[in-house]
């Protein structure tokens, strides 16, 4: 058939899920289109029908039918010098096992419909002395800033993925909220149910626990909070702080009926992945990520301190 391609899986993509492979090399391909191509058997691996979650092996051959206009494969080395310099500027820690980035607010971790520029698409620039690009082992929301851990090989990817899944790694976020919790510290225990693109507190939801501590406050108007999710539900901190009556400044999804805007503050989400303790896996490795400019400026304007 005209336009059909057969592409071999590279060694660095060994073990990658088929849908992740398409996100990496065909970022403009809508997810709905990919699912349809898989369902109608137009995409095959080694001549056989495959599901989105199928794990690829190096050397396998992927059949690619004609795709939507503009959905072209991104070949190795196609990153612009500007993007290479940009992604390297985000590195705050690097050793033989991991790379840690301080992700800016507004940059997606992975691609999707209408998301053409993302961390996953720039990982080739972070090989350094290694033969393969680092791998994603977890993700944070597009508008959340802060720590993003990358594994530098398959062994470390499996180790970290399991640890994140079991919530064995202590993660600490800094949050600027409207209002101030009545208690200076505590645990928010409210089950969360996924409903469309949001999570909502519901008795039918899954267990969700967030530990928090008020670091500073501007009377009853604003508070700087340190939050630690003890479970890993979608948008957990955001949903829990709204439930507490202190929504995150700049949150479009979790701010009650109508979000407030503040003239003295930049209109961005004030949720930052601040610290991670990896010492349970890598001895003495604890990482802290500096606040983004808009967050640091807000604390100065409000007279708040960490």
Of the candidates 13, 120, 141, 251, the residue annotated as catalytic is: 141
Reduced to 3 states (helix: H, G, I; strand: E, B; else coil), residue 178 is: strand
Tokens 């190795």 identify what position? Answer: 76
Q: Under 8 Å CB-to-CB from 217, ≥6 apart: which residues?
A: 180, 223, 224, 304
Q: Are strands 145-151 and 271-277 parallel, antiparallel or unpaired?
A: parallel
The angle, 0 to 180 degrees and rounded to 10, between the axes of the packed helices 18-25 and 31-39 is: 130
Both tokens of 219, joined, read 């009377």
Confirm if 153 and 127 have CB atoms less than 8 A apart.
no
Both tokens of 106, joined, read 């507004």
Burial code (b: 16+ CB inside 10 Å, e: under 16) for 41-75 equals ebbbbeeeebebebebeeebebbbeebeeebeebe
Q: Environment class of residue 177 by beta-carbon count within 10 Å: exposed (0-12), middle (13-18) or buried (19+)?
A: buried
Backbone angles phi and psi of 59, in degrees to 5: 95, -15
Q: Under 8 Å CB-to-CB from 145, ≥6 apart: which residues?
A: 102, 103, 104, 105, 269, 271, 272, 273, 289, 291, 292, 295
| 252 given a catalytic annotation | no
How many CB atoms are located within 10 Å of the residue 157 CB?
19
Chain centroid to Cα 55, Å, comes to 21
Q: Which residues are catalytic?
A: 141
């Amino acid at each position: 058939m005209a336009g059909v391609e057969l592409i071999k899986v590279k060694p660095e993509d060994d073990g990658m899920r088929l849908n992740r492979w398409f996100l990496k090399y065909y970022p403009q391909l809508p997810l709905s289109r990919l699912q349809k191509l898989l369902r109608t058997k137009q995409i095959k691996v080694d001549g056989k029908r495959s599901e989105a979650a199928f794990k690829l092996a190096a050397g396998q051959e992927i059949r690619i039918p004609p795709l939507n206009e503009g959905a072209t494969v991104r070949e190795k080395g196609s990153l612009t010098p500007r993007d290479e310099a940009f992604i390297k500027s985000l590195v705050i820690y690097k050793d033989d096992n991991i790379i840690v980035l301080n992700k800016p607010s507004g940059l997606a971790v992975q691609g999707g419909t209408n998301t053409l520029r993302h961390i996953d698409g720039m990982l080739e620039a972070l090989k350094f002395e290694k033969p393969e690009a680092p791998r994603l082992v977890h993700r944070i929301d597009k508008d959340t800033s802060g720590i993003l851990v990358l594994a530098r090989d398959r062994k470390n990817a499996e180790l970290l993925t399991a640890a994140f899944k079991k919530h064995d790694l202590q993660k600490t976020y800094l949050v600027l909220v409207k209002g101030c919790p009545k208690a200076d510290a505590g645990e928010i225990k409210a089950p969360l149910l996924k409903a469309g693109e949001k999570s909502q507190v519901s008795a039918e939801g899954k267990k969700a626990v967030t530990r928090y501590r008020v670091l500073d406050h501007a009377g009853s108007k604003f508070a700087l909070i340190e939050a630690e999710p003890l479970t890993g539900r979608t948008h957990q901190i955001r949903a829990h702080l709204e439930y507490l009556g202190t929504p995150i400044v700049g949150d479009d999804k979790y701010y009650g009926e109508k979000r407030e805007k503040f003239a003295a503050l930049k209109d961005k989400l004030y949720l930052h992945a601040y610290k991670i303790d990896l010492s349970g896996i890598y001895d003495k490795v604890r990482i802290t990520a500096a606040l983004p400019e808009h967050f640091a400026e807000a604390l100065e304007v409000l007279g708040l301190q960490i």
